[in-house]
């Protein structure tokens, strides 16, 4: 009789376990096999905190929250400007088996793409995906578990701003971080456009933030004006750049609004909030509707806006066309 009671107890436990498994999803949350009750965990890896990337992350979260409400949870991590930290963060996401990784900025994307070939990865604030991922003859789709949005603005039109706003600038310096592949891409394009217009161009690159002050100080002695591309290190150190360039009366045309607000006179800028939001909509299609990121086209903001910094333009005596929008202080 005792043996029968033991066997009955074991059988009862097995039935209970089977019942629990029937209502438990792959991530161990009760009810996740029911599409109506499924919850999602999204890991967000942002390279560094500055206004442009912050806006992209907030736009992403806003879109997914509007779509999913409290059915989506975010594990938001910031790498404090260190690419090595991106690797640590995304490896933690992979170990936790998150449902999707959002990579904000190129080093975050590169870390995520290296860390997993299975978990969907969406990126934002990436200038050129072919360059970032080492894809030759990039066609607009990655063919792997990656897609996202780009922050690429019309570089030829940004270069043309020098003739419009700074016609007397004959020597232009381009400041950028040599460790950012997408910055180098922008530099190559803008340099070619400026040289076609008869402007002498000198590149001033730095490896990390410790070199910025020295590089900018040297450049101020050698050029009439600057161009700064969409560059995360420059964005994170825009006030430092301004503290050197502004007293030297060297105007800066910037690749995006955040850098322009920190140290520039004008920009033709995309909206980081918009590309972040669109990335969130893409995430919804992947999570809920089963879209394959490798087959989703990279999306762009097709409505960039000319903007300017009123105080700096006034101080330098620069007349700005009425079509430019003032950047709020």
On whether residue 17 sits in a domain, the answer given is no
Per-residue pLDDT at 328: 87
Same domain, residue pair 108 and 195: no
pLDDT tens profile 128-169: 999 999 999 999 999 999 999 999 999 999 999 999 999 999
Same domain, residue pair 185 and 317: yes
Same domain, residue pair 203 and 322: yes
Same domain, residue pair 265 and 160: yes
For residue 306 the two structure tokens come to 């000319």
Average pLDDT over residues 232-261: 96
Q: What is the pTM of this model?
A: 0.82
On whether residue 60 sits in a domain, the answer given is yes
Same domain, residue pair 205 and 282: no
Same domain, residue pair 206 and 317: yes
On whether residue 67 sits in a domain, the answer given is yes
CB atoms within 10 A of CB 234: 30
All residues at 6 or more sequence positions from 31 whose CB lies less than 8 Å from its CB, including other chains? 23, 24, 25, 37, 38
Same domain, residue pair 223 and 309: yes
pLDDT tens profile 200-243: 999 999 998 899 999 999 999 999 999 999 999 999 999 999 99
On whether residue 21 sits in a domain, the answer given is no
Same domain, residue pair 138 and 216: no
On whether residue 14 sits in a domain, the answer given is no
What is the overall mean pLDDT for the chain?
90
Per-residue pLDDT at 208: 86
pLDDT > 70? residue 60? yes
On whether residue 192 sits in a domain, the answer given is yes
Same domain, residue pair 182 and 314: yes
Confidence grade of residue 35 (pLDDT, cut at 50, 70, 90):
low
Which residue is listed with tokens 């400007």?
81
Same domain, residue pair 192 and 320: yes
For residue 196, give Cα distances in angstroms to 57, 163, 171: 37, 12, 13
> Is residue 112 within 8 Å of 98, Cβ to Cβ?
no
The number of domains in the chain is 2
Structural domain that includes position 221:
155-269+305-326
């Amino acid at each position: 009789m005792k043996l029968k009671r033991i066997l009955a107890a074991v059988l009862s436990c097995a039935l209970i376990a089977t019942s629990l498994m029937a209502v438990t999803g792959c991530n161990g949350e009760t009810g996740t096999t029911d599409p109506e009750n499924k919850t999602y965990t999204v890991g967000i890896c942002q390279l560094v905190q500055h206004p442009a990337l912050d806006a992209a992350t907030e736009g992403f979260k806003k879109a997914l929250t509007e779509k999913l409400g409290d059915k989506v949870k975010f594990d938001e991590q910031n790498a404090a400007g260190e690419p090595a930290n991106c690797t640590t963060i995304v490896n933690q996401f992979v170990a936790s088996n998150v449902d999707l990784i959002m990579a904000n900025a190129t080093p975050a994307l590169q870390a995520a793409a290296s860390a997993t070939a299975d978990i969907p990865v969406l990126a934002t604030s990436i200038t050129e995906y072919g360059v970032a991922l080492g894809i030759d003859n990039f066609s607009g789709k990655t063919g792997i578990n990656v897609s996202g949005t780009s922050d690429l603005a019309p570089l030829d039109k940004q270069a043309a701003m020098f003739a419009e706003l700074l016609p007397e600038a004959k020597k232009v310096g381009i400041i950028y971080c040599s460790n950012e592949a997408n910055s180098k891409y922008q530099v190559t394009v803008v340099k070619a456009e400026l040289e076609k217009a008869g402007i002498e161009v000198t590149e001033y690159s730095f490896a990390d933030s410790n070199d910025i002050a020295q590089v900018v100080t040297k450049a101020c002695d050698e050029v009439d004006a600057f161009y700064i591309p969409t560059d995360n290190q420059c964005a994170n150190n825009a006030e430092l750049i301004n503290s050197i360039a502004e007293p030297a009366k060297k105007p800066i045309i910037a690749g995006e609004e955040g850098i322009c607000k920190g140290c520039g006179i004008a920009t033709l800028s995309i909206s980081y909030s918009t590309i972040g939001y669109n990335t969130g909509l893409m995430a919804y299609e992947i999570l809920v509707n089963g879209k394959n990121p490798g087959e989703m086209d990279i999306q762009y903001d097709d409505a960039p806006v000319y903007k300017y910094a009123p105080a700096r333009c006034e101080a330098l005596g620069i007349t700005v066309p009425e079509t430019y929008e003032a950047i709020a202080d």
